[in-house]
Each structure stands twice: as structure tokens, then as C-alpha cells.
Chains A and B, each alone.
Chain A
Amino acid sequence: MTKREHTIILLLVIEMKPIVKTIKDKLLEAWKVADGVARGKAIETIEFEAEELDHIFGILVLASFVGLPSPPMQISLDLMPLMEQELMLMMEKVDTAHEPISDLFSVFDIG
């Protein structure tokens, strides 16, 4: 290789460096998105299960306020100040309470 050819290749590599970096960044970004989506998909059902358990916990503790059997009143009252999230969830669930199957279908992406 002549000295001239060597210089041209060197200049080319220098010029290509930012392009390679951009491609690498884009690929990394795409990988992160794909990974995020995959992870999201993987735990969708677990998230639904956790939410359902939260709901069951809410109903179990605060059931007396909607007329269901419940623990001794003082247990409900002692936990009530800490159960804002469960109460909100119970209120949200009222909307979907009449269509539990459609709620379940949406979790499994059945359209």
C-alpha cells in the first residue's frame, strides 16, 4: 500500500467514526426499546395478578364498608389510613366489576 492510499483509508476511518457511533447508538436504543417491551410483556400478567391481590386485600380489610364480612373493626380502622392506594383501586374496579371477562381479555391481548 502506498503512502497516499494509507492516508485516504485513515481519512475515511476518521470520517466514518461518527456514523458508526450513530448506528451503534441507534441499535442500542432499539435494543433497549425491544428489551423494555419484552420485559413489559413478560410481567403484564404478574402485574395484573399483583393488582388483583391488592384488590382482594382491599376488599378483605375494608369489606365492612361495602357490607361484606370483614376482620374485627379495629383491624380495618387501624390499616385504613395506610390503604389509600387500595381504596383508589377498589373505586376503579367498580367500573370494570360488571365485565370481569373483558377485563381479563384485555390482559391477555385478546381482541
Chain B
Amino acid sequence: MAGATNMFFMGKGGVGKSTAAALNSLFLAQKGFQILIVSLDPAHNQSDIFETSLSDKPTKIADNLMGIEIDQDYWIRRYLKDVQNQIKRTYSYLTSFNLEKYFEVIKYSPGLEEYALILVFKDIMQKFGHLDFLMFDMPPTALGLRFFTLPTLSLIWIEQLVALRQEIIKKRDLITKVKLIKKEVETDKILNKINEMKKDYQNLKDIFEDSNQTLINIVLNPDKLSLAESTRIVEALHDINITCSQIINNKMQLHSSCDDINTTFSDIPICQCPYSETQLIGLTNLEQFLKANDSVLEEQVNHLLPSAAEK
């Protein structure tokens, strides 16, 4: 397999997306794939589910399976520190300026949470891209959707900024020509930076839109509220050209009706995952559940990656 496949688990709070991510990770690890499960949810349930203390360094959970928990605040702090240092280096007249005070406020700015997740995603892809699967246990819906929207939204702004910058450069070139000043060889640093950013966001957008690299699982329960929220997630992702790979109808019981779910998501593969009488906590319980419901997980993997089930 060329490069890691990114698998995301999204859904309403409490539907069992962390458990679904854990079960899928363990199942694929048992099949012999190299897996890293990444908890992007600030609630960090993976440590509890696997009863293993996870940190920002990969920790072995089982054979072929490692886990990481992300400290979002750390990534925001690290990013702001970088910007602060760059500003200090370039703005010589601001040496007496109390930048720390301003950046203390900026860290609460809207938009930085999802950007921290993007930084984490890029870092994980770079460091663990050689593995077979990167499984992302996503934060609550609002933040999860903002994470996927960020590249598209940023590209809209960047397009406008590039156009304006090119207009400025055109005018400056004209001034240089008329004034017969020796043309500066140095290119526009701002335009270079914007183009660099554009390439970066386009790359992320391409990864999210490519259903061979990105598989999105929507986890829901057979109830109206989680169905309504899942519908909104699928629509919001569809608006930015991202398709959902699978619906996991979790905690299914004998009397549960899934007619509404089947009708609503008629064009997306749906997998029924049974309700577990025992709490799915600890490796032993998870393995027992997998043993008892091997066909269910097999079906899930078949939906996502026909070739994966064959391994």
C-alpha cells in the first residue's frame, strides 16, 4: 500500500465513535496492518477504552497497534511561539513591544483550535505516513467539520490575496520601469509565502477529497437526534466535496428500527454494529467483542477497503 490511509470517525457525542475507532483499529491490527490510532478528541477516551495511558508520543497498545493522544493547547502554544519569534526577528522597532501580552489573547482567537488539528494532522502524516492506517478519533461535530472546512475556506481567502498582491506587484513594476530604477532581483516575499500556503492547503484539500487516501466513517445510533446530526455532517462534507465512505449504525439492538437511516443514506454503505452487553473497555473485552462479531467488522472493512479484508 502506497502511503497511509487516513480513517476518520465522526458523529454526535456519545454515539460510540471512539469505541468504533478502537474496534476498527484493533481489527485491522489483528489482520496484520500497521496501525496508529490518534485521539483528536479533547475528551481523550482512547486511554480509557484501551486502559493504557497514552501521550503525544506513540505508545504500543497491542501487536501492530500504537496510540497517540493530542494536546491541542500545546500545538496552539507552539505555533504562536513560532510566529512570535519570527515577528521579533523581523520587526526590529518592536523590541520594546510587549508581544507576549498580545499573544496571550490571540491564543483564544476563533479558528486556532482547528488549525492546531491541521498542524497535528500534517505532523502525523509526515512522521507516520509509512504505516498502513492512521485512525483519527475526531472531536465533537462542530470542531470536526471546521477541521475539514479549513483548507477550502483558507483557499478562498488566499485566491483573493494572491490577486491583490499581483496587482500591487504589477503597479510596483511599472513604477520601477518609469523611474528607471535598477530592478530588484528579490521577489515579493509575501507573494511567495501566500503561494507556499496555497500549495499546502491545496494538498490537504486533495487528500481530504481523495477517497483512496481519506475514509470518513459517520457513527450514529438508531435514534432521531444522532440521525439528524449525521445528516448534517454528510451534507456539510458534501458541500466541500468530501464524500463519506461509510455509516456505522452503532449500538443496534433487536428491536431497533433502521428504516430511516437506510432511507436517508441510501447511497452510502451502512454497517450495523450490535449493542454490547458488556462495557467495551480493556483489550480483553474489545478482543472478545471482535471475536463474537468478526463478520460485522469484516463487512466494515470490506465497505471501506475491499483489498484490506483480503490480507
A contact set with B: CB distance below 8 Å: 39-40, 42-43, 46-47, 49-50, 53-54, 56-57, 60-61, 64, 71-75, 77-84, 87
CA distance A60 to B190 in the complex (A): 14
A50 to B175, CA, bound (A): 9
A44 (CB) vs chain B CBs: closest residue: B175
Closest CB of chain B to A109's CB: distance in Å? 18
Alpha-carbon distance between A82 and B109 when the two chains are bound, in angstroms: 21
- Measured between beta carbons, the chain A residues less than 8 angstroms from B168 are 50, 53-54, 57
Q: Please, what's the 1-or-0 string for B28-44, where 1 marks a CB less than 8 Å from any CB in chain A? A: 00000000000000000
Q: How far is the CA of A71 from the CA of B106 in the complex (A)?
A: 14
Q: Which of B157, B175, B189 contacts A75 (CB 8 A)?
A: B157
- Which of A46, A54, A57, A75 is the most central at the interface, judged by chain B CB atoms within 10 Å of its CB? A75
CB distance from B184 to the nearest CB of A (A): 14
* A46 and B110 form a contact (CB under 8 A): no
With beta carbons under 8 angstroms apart, the residue of A46, A57, A87 that contacts B164 is A57
Name the residue on A nearest B83 (C-beta).
A77
- Which applies to chain B's interface (DSSP): helix, strand, loop or mixed? helix
User: Are B90 and A84 in contact, with the CB atoms below 8 A?
Assistant: yes
Knowing A39-B179, A82-B189 are in contact, say whether A75-B154 is a contact too (CB < 8 A).
yes
Chain A residue numbers with a CB within 8 Å of B165 are 57
Q: CB within 8 A of A79: which of B79, B150, B194?
A: B194
- The residue on A at minimum CB distance from B197 is A78
Q: How far is the CB of A59 from chain B (nearest CB, A)?
A: 11
Does B167 make an interface contact (CB < 8 A)?
yes
Q: Which residues of A contact B79 (CB under 8 A)?
A: 74, 77
Contact of B171 among A46, A78, A81 (CB under 8 A): A46
Contact A74 B115 (CB under 8 A): yes
- Chain A residues near B89 (CB, 8 Å)? 81
The residue of chain A having its C-beta at the shortest distance from the C-beta of B164 within the complex is A57
- Interchain CA distance A46-B167 in the complex, whole Å: 11
Tell me whether B161 and A60 are in contact (CB under 8 A). yes
Residues from chain B with a CB closer than 8 A to the CB of A56 are: 164
B80-122 interface code vs A (CB 8 A; 1 in, 0 out) = 1001001101110000000000000010011110010000000
